[in-house]
Amino acid sequence: MSSSENRSGGPFATSVERIRQEFDQFLDNAVQQGGRVLEGIRTRQGVSWLPPVDLLESTGQIDCFMEVPGLCSEEIDITLAGNMLTITGGKAEPADHGSAVLHLQERRQGRFERSIPMPAAVDPERVSADVTNGVLHVQLPKPSQSVPRQIPVRGGSAPAETGSTPNGG
């Protein structure tokens, strides 16, 4: 970088100024549109919101709680692949408001997807889930602890004593 670019700010200052202008425009839109300004921001392709999650681990299982207000069990899909729990679902977009002017829209809508790594192994055959009062509860039991047992070793007769060592000595 030349000394003249350094004094004037150069390309870095131009980039920072552009970011500042974009952010100012975003804030202006937020003041005018409220929560609707966030509708254009997506976390992943087609994903418009991320429900909050609590993940608790006890001795025998992992419990995942997710806030899914307004959703019924048919609108939620859960998969477990390895140690990754993925929950997807969505709420239908509200009906057209016709000529009414929407002044405030804070309720979440659209599709969501959360992938949550499990902190320990779980038994996929015993996983269960239910949704009550807008809270999804996924119960992920840990595998049963097997009791150690002695394994007998079978084999032929003991090697004959030859007086030599295994190394040929």
Per residue in 109-160, pLDDT (tens digit) is 788 999 999 999 999 999 999 999 999 999 999 998 766 778 889 887 766 6
Summarize pLDDT for 12-69 with one digit per residue, the tens: 778 888 888 877 777 776 666 565 455 445 445 566 778 999 999 999 999 999 999 9
CATH for 47-141 (3.40.640.10, 3.40.50.300, 3.90.76.10, 2.60.40.790)? 2.60.40.790
Whole-angstrom Cα distance, residue 21 to residue 95?
Answer: 35
- How do the domains of the chain map onto residue ranges? 3-37, 47-141
The helix (run of H) or strand (run of E) holding residue 19 is: helix 10-33
Cα–Cα distance for residue pair 75/92, rounded to 1 Å = 10
